[in-house]
Structure 1
Amino acid sequence: MKYLFSVLLGAMSYGILSTIVVKAYGQGFELGEVVGSQLLTGFILSWALALFIKLRSKRKGKPQAAVQNLIAHKLTWTQRLMLMAAGAPTAITGLLYYQSLRYIPNSLAIVLLFQFTWIGVLIHAISQRKRPNGIMLLTVAILFGGTLLAAGILEQGLSNFNLLGVALGLLSAVSYSLFIIFSGKAVPSVHPAFRSAWMISGALLLVFILFPPHFLFNGLLWGNLLLFGLLLGLFGAFIPPLLFAVGVPHIGEGMAAILGASELPVAILLSSVVLHEQVSILQWTGVVLVLLGVALPELVKQLSLKSLAGRNGSNSAS
């Protein structure tokens, strides 16, 4: 249960971010300042955790080989650069998603970001040159229908939405799908704390190149921006990756995907309660359909495994 709760809490943390960003925009802060302060906080926290693990491992007197494996002493610069490159989509996702919040409601932006579920299936099918099976096609259909309802498109029509904001939201979903693909393949043998630290280093470097961090020198950081940066860094760049690294290996990726979907209702609930956005019953119905679509492949998989186990048990008994 603690591993299930770990992944659930990590996903719920992600659901808080968009509300904090909207509040930061309300204070007059710009995109580069918001994302830059978030990643800077995550960078500091991630490397602090990595240093703590390194010192603790040495203090416990672990065998040298084990220590080197744990703290990644033998990481080459090629591997470090691979991890930093794998972290770049994190920055791009944040930039696209947060910018979309300037044009469309928070409740719509999070629904668009959640299109990474079927976009990931599409990318995987194209890369493998393999057609998705019937369950995956049904899942995509449910997700698409749920999205039309949750986004309010059937009620309001597309003409009432800012097309630039919609495009940015969809591009953030594409970027997030690429992050999921690349992050799982980049030097997987390295300890999660060090993988996370190097990946967020790459994300921070990219954002600082695109948006030079003037806020570090003009005094903005020591005002309300510091509070927003701490909250975004804590709930976006530090807590979720850490909790996922703890929980996912024990519960499996399928169950993690189901629990990870809790980000969606949390974000929409906060949009309604904190930002006072109008969320209709039809939109909540769409949210439920999206959650069902996310859970469907894992539910079918579990039912198949139980059925197979039952048949094997019957054959053994006979």
Structure 2
Amino acid sequence: MERFKYSTLVFLGACSYGVLSTILKLGLGAGFTVPQILGGQYFFGWCILLILMLLFSRVKVQIKQVGALLLAGIPMSLTGLFYSVAVAQLPASLAVLLLFQFTWIGVILEAIWERKFPSRGKIISIIVLILGTVLAGGVLEQAGGSYTPLGITMGLLSALTFAIYIFVSGKVATNVPVLSKSFIMVSGAVIVLFIVLTPSFLFDGSIAQGAWIYSVPQALLGSIIPVIFFAIGVPKVGPGLGTILGAAELPAAVIVSVLVLQEQVSGLQWTGILLIMVGIVIPQFTSFGGKDDLQPRKLRESNSI
């Protein structure tokens, strides 16, 4: 039950990420830009986490751990930056498909780190998730569209950085209190984001004009809830299972877009969503079974004869 509890936290964190695309579309429809909404998201997220940390987690963190957590936060902002370029350069369905390669990348990262082959349940899960992502993303129904090397590269980089973010959430400074850890990681993300985008949204009047209506929910659902939930859950379930659970982001994004934006979803896409949910569940059952995840094979045998 403990593992299920932590898996649920990671799952909910991923679903939280899935709501962001709908909020972003609403903000863009209101006349605001991606830098204004994205910049506001991280700014308000940073401020809220700072308040929470000062109220509930006044713990001294070692300088070495602070540096590691600042670096660990960089992939968080890079994912958003790379993915935004991919969406601009590619059909949305292909951009989503490229981003969701983080599922198998994360499992490989864990395998390399642990020097163990992924369990049979994880391998089956990845296959099901990839098929489900192809269907849910509408790739098979996409007619035409422009494809650029830059877009493909940025899409794959977004997958890599998101997998790295989930991985480091489970490996870096796991003994640091969650609120302090989350605040420092978001601080690292804010630094990179402000260097790339510049904090012009703070001075152009967009916040007073209503951008905060979209940036504050983005902060809660993109920079606070998932960061905290991942910081709690991923160290317990492992980065490999963490990335698999992260695939819940796509079904959440599709369902919210249907409920809020009234977007049309085809039968193939619903089938893909169902497959993704099945892919997420598979490792849970194999884990509870005991043998599949508890006794994975080593990548290479000992050199001793």
Pair 1:141-2:127 in alignment: yes
Where does residue 65 of structure 2 map in the other structure? 79
The verdict on how the C-alpha distance between 1:138 and 1:261 changes in structure 2, with shifts beyond 3 A counting, is closer
Where does residue 27 of structure 1 map in the other structure? 30
Measured in 2, the distance between the counterparts of 1:273 and 1:263 equals 15
Where does residue 68 of structure 1 map in the other structure? none
Where does residue 16 of structure 2 map in the other structure? 13
More moved, 103-112 vs 267-276: 103-112
Measured in 2, the distance between the counterparts of 1:260 and 1:148 equals 16
Pair 1:277-2:263 in alignment: yes
Q: Which amino acid aligns with 2:44?
A: T
Measured in 2, the distance between the counterparts of 1:247 and 1:133 equals 20
Measured in 1, the distance between the counterparts of 2:288 and 2:93 equals 31
Q: Which amino acid aligns with 1:221?
A: I
Measured in 1, the distance between the counterparts of 2:44 and 2:241 equals 29
Where does residue 159 of structure 2 map in the other structure? 173
Report deviation, 1:150.
1.8
Of all paired residues, the percent bearing the same amino acid is 40
Bigger Cα Rg: 1
The verdict on how the C-alpha distance between 1:34 and 1:172 changes in structure 2, with shifts beyond 3 A counting, is same
Pair 1:297-2:283 in alignment: yes
TM-score, structure 1 length as denominator? 0.77
Pair 1:45-2:45 in alignment: no
Two-structure CA RMSD over aligned residues (Å): 3.2
* Contact 1:97/1:169 (<8 A) preserved: yes
Aligned residue pairs total 288
TM-score, structure 2 length as denominator? 0.80
* Contact 2:125/2:279 (<8 A) preserved: yes
The verdict on how the C-alpha distance between 1:23 and 1:265 changes in structure 2, with shifts beyond 3 A counting, is same
- Residue from 29, 36, 39 that aligns with 2:39: 36
- Residue from 207, 220, 223 that aligns with 1:234: 220
Q: What do residues 155-212 of structure 1 show as CA deviations (whole Å, max 9, x unaligned)? A: 336x446556565443322111011122222222111100111111111011111111
Measured in 2, the distance between the counterparts of 1:267 and 1:105 equals 16
The verdict on how the C-alpha distance between 1:274 and 1:302 changes in structure 2, with shifts beyond 3 A counting, is same
More moved, 22-31 vs 37-46: 22-31
Structure 2 unaligned residues grouped into runs of 5+: 295-305
Structure 1 unaligned residues grouped into runs of 5+: 55-70, 309-318
* Contact 1:258/1:291 (<8 A) preserved: no
Where does residue 115 of structure 1 map in the other structure? 101
More moved, 251-260 vs 176-185: 251-260
Measured in 2, the distance between the counterparts of 1:90 and 1:112 equals 17
Measured in 2, the distance between the counterparts of 1:247 and 1:130 equals 21
Where does residue 297 of structure 2 map in the other structure? none
- Residue from 176, 185, 197 that aligns with 2:171: 185
Report deviation, 1:117.
1.3
More moved, 41-50 vs 12-21: 12-21
Measured in 2, the distance between the counterparts of 1:280 and 1:104 equals 21
The verdict on how the C-alpha distance between 1:89 and 1:288 changes in structure 2, with shifts beyond 3 A counting, is same
Where does residue 313 of structure 1 map in the other structure? none
